[in-house]
Structure 1
Amino acid sequence: MHNSSDSPSPNETPESAAQAAAPGGELEALKAKVAELEAGNKELRDTVLREKAELENQRRRLHRDLEHARRFANEKLLNDLLPVYDSLERGLAVEGGDVHAVREGLSLTLKELLRIAGNNGLVQVDPVDQPLDPERHHAVSMVEAPGKAPGTVVTVLQKGYVLNDRLLRPALVAVAKDD
């Protein structure tokens, strides 16, 4: 009888016969492949951890920058307002001055305040002699106004304000009524 383990079977290739003949070689090749895959896995894990840490650092920086921006958003505006405060304090410090001079000082201070507000996007809504605009005006009364078209703003009781094209406060107005 012929021993089947001594001769290759018809389905066996010379490589598989060599691997079967040397099971230690196949084991070594598999161990090398496992080590290679483990090294690649470790490298990928390290890369993921570094990326995760970088994302966390960016999130913290963004949070800190947003908090800083929120805390100091009005810094420029308030710095611009300091001269107005100074003018008002100087005006209040005057003892028994001329009423005309005090009024003139207040007028200049108001003009400076309006200039600063305008530079920061604030616009007054003063609609005298304009048609009532319910989007920007709030009619609180109707008055007789000869010579004025019905629905026309006759008096502004309180000016309104728009901040960067967004209504901040509507103007309180009196409107001409029908004759």
Structure 2
Amino acid sequence: MSETPRIKKGPEREYVLDEDPEIGEETNKGNRYTDCETQPENEAGDMKEKSVEDTDKKEVDTEKKAKSKKRLKKHGTKNLADLLSRKNNILQAMEKQMEKVEQDLNLKEDKMLRMAAEFENYKKRTRREWELHQKRANADLLTDILGVLDDFGRAFESAEDTEDRFFSGIRMIHNQLLDVLAKAGLTEIDAEHKEFDPQFHEAMGESESDEIEPGKVLYIVQNGYLLNDQLLRPARVIVVKEKNGPQSAPDASENLE
């Protein structure tokens, strides 16, 4: 059996021609040459058409890409501008809101400071009023007690026997009462033989004296008292006057009568 002749065409394809016993060798040879010449021409045409199509396709793709980029650039720029505008609007709104919040905080802080100052002033005012009320209450009470002290003084002046034990007991009670009143802030005004002071002394009359200078207190008619350095009752006194001078107040002897 004879081998089938093969004719190679190109690096990848090959064409096989079978010998037909009914056809002569020349015919087969002609067929062999016809195939060898026709096939390369067809393949070259196909490759050329394919190359043209690929080139056209690339150009179309390039044009589409360019248009797409242009569209994206146009829309992207517009979108970016919109985003920036919206961002600026949001920032401005936030700044306004922050300014409003800051103003509200400042107003509330000022209000709290004013309230704190008012409350502090209220406490001070209440404390002062309470202290004043307490002083007035103490003053009213001590004013009533001063009458008792005056009675003690008159009893001591009229006593005949100052060495009596009963008198000594009364004197002790009087001193204890003075100590208690001193703790409450009561002090006696020292007026005897002092310069007359209308702020603390009340002149009940005038009298001449060879021992005391004019204008000074000769003696005390009624003791005066201070409560916490404030005048509770002035001391009623007789003031020394100039000899042979005009009498501006009743004489001491007349007051004693």
TM-score for both structures, normalised by structure 1:
0.56
Q: Does 1:142 align with 2:206?
A: yes
Q: Which residue of 2 aligns with 1:38?
A: 97
Structure with a larger share of its residues in helix: 2
2:170 is aligned with 1:103: yes
2:196 equivalent to 1:129: no
- Name the SS of the counterpart of 1:139 in structure 2: strand
Paired with 1:160 and 1:104, the residues of 2 have a C-alpha distance of 19
Q: Structure 1: any 5+ residue segments left out of the alignment?
A: 1-17, 89-97
- Asked which structure has the greater CA Rg, the reply is 2
Structure 1 residue 101, shift from structure 2 partner? 6.0
**Which secondary structure state, in structure 2, belongs to the residue aligned with residue 155 of structure 1?**
strand
CA shift for structure 1 position 64: 4.3
Q: Secondary structure at the match of 1:175?
A: strand
Alignment deviations for residues 10-60 of structure 1 (CA, whole Å, 9 cap, x no partner): xxxxxxxx89x9356324313322223213422431353254235425533
Deviations 1:115-168 (A, max 9, x none): 314xx3x54222212232334322220123343322221111223334565545
TM, length-normalised to structure 2 = 0.42
Q: Is contact 1:126-1:156 (8 Å) kept?
A: no
Moved more, 61-70 or 107-116: 61-70
Aligned match for 2:179, one of 112, 120, 125: 112
Q: Which amino acid aligns with 1:133?
A: D
Q: Is the 8 A contact 1:128 1:154 kept in 2?
A: yes
List aligned pairs for 1:7-156, cutoff 5 A: 22=81, 25-53=84-112, 55-57=114-116, 59-60=118-119, 62-64=121-123, 66-67=125-126, 70-71=129-130, 74=134, 99-100=166-167, 103-117=170-184, 120=185, 122-156=186-220
Equivalent residue letter for 1:34: A
Which one has more relative contact order, counting CA pairs under 8 Å at least 6 apart? 1
Query: Which amino acid in 1 is paired with 2:95?
Result: E
For 1:123 and 1:63, locate their aligned partners in 2 and report how far apart those are by CA, in whole Å: 32
Equivalenced residue count is 141
Which runs of 5 or more structure 2 residues have no equivalent in the other structure?
Answer: 1-76, 149-164, 244-257
Q: 1 CA distance for matches of 2:242 and 2:106?
A: 78
RMSD: 3.9
Match of 1:174 in 2: 238
| Closer/same/farther in 2, CA of residues 164 and 59 from structure 1, 3 Å limit | same
Equivalent position of 1:160 in the other structure: 224
